[in-house]
Amino acid sequence: MGQRTPLYDAHLAAGGKMVDFGGWDMPIHYGSQLEEHHAVRKGAGMFDVSHMTVVDVAGADAEAYLQKLLANDVARIAPGKALYSGMLNDKGGVVDDLIVYRREKDFRLVVNCATRDKDLDWMEGRSAGFAVDIHERAELGILAVQGPDARQRVAEVLGGKRGQQIGELGLFNFFEAGQWLIARTGYTGEDGVEMILPGEMLPDLWQQLLDAGVHACGLGARDTLRLEAGMNLYGNDMDEGVTPLEAGMGWTLVFNDRGFIGEEALTRQKEHGHDQLVGLVMEGKGVLRAHQKVITANGEGETTSGSFSPTLGVAIALARVPAGSTGKADVEIRGKRQPVRIVRPPFVRNGKSVFKDL
């Protein structure tokens, strides 16, 4: 038996099909992954992501420490704003990717569940010389509510001042109310919020949102939604042997001579050139999967994530290919070459196809 979130019983009651996910018993779907996917694209769906790890970083040197620990620069955001960043090793490889929320007096990080132990070790190990307190908040749960109607539904359920604040919240901004942190962030390519709150309060919130017509969605739909949104999955699209430059995360790198971990290696890699992460769209029938061989005019690469796209009705993938690969390519599926187009992700934003040919 794996670890359980405070919503375990609620998942079973909703018909959740439970699977092991990084040591946690989590719902993969509640009957139909496709229906859940479309619910988020067209209405509102919610995901229990309480298996993810919340870590608070406080102390006089918290900012200086995170400026070194993270490849994106927390000094660029004011309190009340969130930032996506990689946490890199000395070779520039991605130890994990995370969201950092800058609060008034400290920072809150949300990191992946499967990497929890190594992340906490890594963070502790880099803290020498900094006056910081790194403190896991295992008692907090996270609920993501996503979709064009998501903020409206959540605002109705919460009502009052919180409801009003959700309506006015800017992208990648957050506010706190008591022990709740409500952020306009997500992993689906739709509008919505992610709410961090005490775990024991999750079941009531879950039930109220169900009653308000929010669809329960499993990790299966979360994966197809994030892939359509062109968002990376740690362990698939990047890991410790892959740098942000090779993983479509160049936009998260801030080089300003502050000396973040991995900066030197990345600077060298920028000079020497590197593979790139692109999108693939299949022309015919079939389904792209991770670890299929990609043959481009510039050489061979490999898919890192792939699936059928429920929104587009064709297979899509993220793939690491040699620099400068454009136009058409072939993917080898069960020994046969299938034609694909090389595109610039994301594939889908706000319910619409948005990819462009490279």
Partner 1 sequence: MSNIPAELRYASSHEWIHLEQDGTAVIGITEHAQDAMGDLVYVEMPDVGAELAAGDEAGVVESVKAASDIYAPVAGEVIAINEKLEDEPELVNNDPYNDGWLFKLKVSDPSELENLLDADAYAAQLEAED
Classify 69 as helix, strand or coil.
helix
* Residue with smaller CB distance to partner 1, 191 or 223: 223
The CB-of-217 to partner 1 minimum distance in angstroms stands at 13
The CB-of-350 to partner 1 minimum distance in angstroms stands at 21
* Residue with smaller CB distance to partner 1, 33 or 85: 33
The CB-of-221 to partner 1 minimum distance in angstroms stands at 8
The CB-of-224 to partner 1 minimum distance in angstroms stands at 6
The span from the CA of 254 to the CA of 287, in Å, is 36
Classify 235 as helix, strand or coil.
coil
The DSSP bridge partners found for residue 26 are 19
Q: What is the CB-side half-sphere exposure of residue 347 using CA atoms within 13 A?
A: 31
CB 65 within 8 A of CB 132: yes
The CB-of-28 to partner 1 minimum distance in angstroms stands at 7
* Residue with smaller CB distance to partner 1, 272 or 285: 285
Residues that bind partner 1 (CB under 8 A): 28-29, 32-34, 37, 220, 223-224, 285-287, 289, 307-308, 310, 315, 334
CB 84 within 8 A of CB 159: no
* Residue with smaller CB distance to partner 1, 105 or 336: 336
* Residue with smaller CB distance to partner 1, 29 or 41: 29
* Residue with smaller CB distance to partner 1, 93 or 220: 220
Q: What is the DSSP letter of 113?
A: S
The span from the CA of 66 to the CA of 98, in Å, is 12
The CB-of-44 to partner 1 minimum distance in angstroms stands at 20
> What six digits make up the tokens of 245?
């430059």
> What six digits make up the tokens of 106?
């400290």
Q: Say which residues have a Cβ less than 8 Å from residue 330's Cβ, sequence separation at least 6.
A: 294, 295, 337, 338, 339, 340
